[in-house]
Chains A and B, each alone.
Chain A
């Protein structure tokens, strides 16, 4: 019998012949202005099971620009491995053509120029078209949502996630897992789940008081696809009460809990599961590590770190899938499952080019209905931008430079701190900045700002702490966000050093003076996880005032962070 490993290798080789490194060889077609929906959907239907994975939508109902990271460092065992490959290295690794649609979709290089040609990506109406087409091809395909679905836009903010819930109800996923959902408050999460037809899964959602699996969330559920009994085990974001305000969901504890994951795998196998899928919100590196510790998981659908990979990554016998964010991609994974073993597969990371894929009419109508009550607020133009505005990347992005500038000038601070969130789409030079755009980068439930005195020592303590959550060599000790963004101050960071020793050369940018440990500085920031939040006005008001005063946003290149030890 052909082993699974042989088969995977054979399949990869075969896909090379077709030029389908998961994304398809449609660069040439695009150059001929002939890229079609049919090309994007074409698929070598395989086996008996189809999984559709979408994740980290962050409530983006409409198509967006989303610039992939320029800096995405891997540390420890993950050094140089996908997803820690960007730009030209990414293009080379996956055999893409520079300037092609797939290079535009998957890398930051020449982003604004290519964005003008290839247009926005995503849109839940386009996603609906793709999902419906896959279901037409394979009616019992399983649609799995990796979470971070109900947060991240103006309408999600105003409706407490209801707009996205209505959209997902129409898409009819089998199951989802969670992260930012819990920042709506645990009561709201339970209220929504009581009202939807799909399952909310999380084997690592525990009752905090009793330190036992919570009865409010199932650890796993069984589904049937192609006559195969598929177990889907949920894995919510492990560090919810640490990275986000725990007081918003005080009944629950999380954590990775890989021993319990192993027990769940054995339990579902004993109950007859022929295929074990983990619907995870761990983040890619944590999943890669978990795959090497927990045996018996066939497929991990990764999320949280917003990576988009055109090929599965194999760890032992476990296949890791990374499907991007913001509705930009949908993964289709076909598996040939025979006697509890994967005998073959076909995979495609389908890029949702909004100008190529026809919107699904029913979904487009539903989206319009969600937005209609807020149309005037959404479309109000606050200013324009001459600069590319983006967030993703390990250190400063221009959206966060703008937010930090706003905090410094509006709150009269020396130094600004803005959290290293990975959500938040991009704008290209010449774009208007609307209130919708602003909320896409700030919309969340603990938005209030603070203005406070901190010593140089405290500032270093905070930055060292966050840096370790990103650059600890063991992924189990990482939280998966990017580095906290800093305005008004520059620093050097050696990512190879241990916590407490990474940051040096902390310098006030306006004076060039070194930060002194015992001197006091005025620091302004937002998104405090402390109970009750911060006392100041919400970040979106601060940034809106700043943009309106500026009129046109022009940002200088930011070279204030010097990175070594890569």
Chain B
């Protein structure tokens, strides 16, 4: 009996085939989207908390959450996806907290970035590397 390549990859995770795609191609797109969001403000690291798994259990649905106290808007980017924008959240003045979570599909191992715009217009950034793996063979 023959297996298709997808079945054999041994080991599951459809997204893994793209693991070694040169992700640099998408870096420009990430920069463009970030600049647009920052509206000319400098982006500084820290002040926003991004939670993502170190290794994705399923690259097709990766849980991401962000906690950005004081933010009016948050943008989540998957820097290695062909289209890096994942989702944006806006928080009104009466929001009880500035936390949000979502799931996204990742084309391969890459950095996920959260940008948070504060009330004064300044922009904070957090980043986490999420590994997308074929899996199996462990233990």
Contacts and interface: CB of A to CB of B under 8 A. Distances in A.
Interface of A: 179-180, 211, 237, 239, 241-244, 246, 253-256, 259, 304, 417, 419-423, 450-454, 458, 461-462, 464-466, 468-469, 472, 474, 476-477, 479-481, 484, 499-500, 523, 525, 527-531, 534-536
A466 B65 CA distance: 28
A450 B17 CA distance: 20
B28 to A, nearest CB: 22
Nearest to B8: A452
A244 B138 contact: yes
Given A211-B63, A529-B11, 20 more contacts: A180-B139, A211-B65, A237-B139, A242-B55, A242-B56, A242-B136, A242-B138, A253-B57, A255-B53, A454-B5, A458-B8, A461-B20, A465-B16, A465-B19, A477-B129, A479-B133, A500-B19, A529-B10, A530-B10, A535-B1
B131 interface: yes
3 pairs of A and B residues whose beta carbons are closest in the complex: A243-B138, A481-B138, A479-B138
B137 A452 contact: no
Interface residues of B, number: 34
Contact of B54 (A179, A477, A499): A477
Given A241-B57, A499-B109, A480 B138 contact: yes
Contacts of B1: 451, 535-536
Given A453-B2, A468-B133, A458 B9 contact: yes
B99 interface: no
Contact of A462 (B2, B11, B56, B138): B11
Contact of B57 (A242, A259, A499, A536): A242
Nearest to B103: A211
A255 B138 contact: no
Contact of B136 (A211, A253, A259, A527): A527
B111 to A, nearest CB: 13
Contact of A244 (B8, B16, B139): B139
Nearest to A239: B55
B139 to A, nearest CB: 5
A180 B19 CA distance: 27
A527 B2 CA distance: 17
A243 B135 contact: yes
Nearest to B5: A458
A453 B6 CA distance: 11
Contacts of A479: 55, 133, 135, 138-139
B20 A500 contact: yes
Secondary structure class of chain A's binding surface, majority of residues: loop
Main secondary structure of the interface of B (DSSP, over half): loop
B127 to A, nearest CB: 14
A86 to B, nearest CB: 20
B7 interface: yes
B101 interface: yes
Interface in B97-123: 101, 109
A114 B33 CA distance: 65
Given A458-B9, A499-B109, A530-B12, A481 B139 contact: yes
Contacts of A241: 57-58, 135
Contacts of A472: 131
B78 to A, nearest CB: 18
B134 interface: yes
A476 B136 CA distance: 17
B131 A480 contact: no
A281 to B, nearest CB: 10
A469 B19 CA distance: 13
A113 B133 CA distance: 41
B51 interface: yes
Contacts of A530: 7, 10-12
A256 B54 contact: yes
A464 B20 CA distance: 10
A331 B49 CA distance: 39
B8 A477 contact: no
Contacts of B138: 239, 242-244, 419-420, 469, 479-481
Nearest to B52: A255
Contact of B10 (A423, A474, A525): A525
A390 B38 CA distance: 58
A243 B63 CA distance: 19
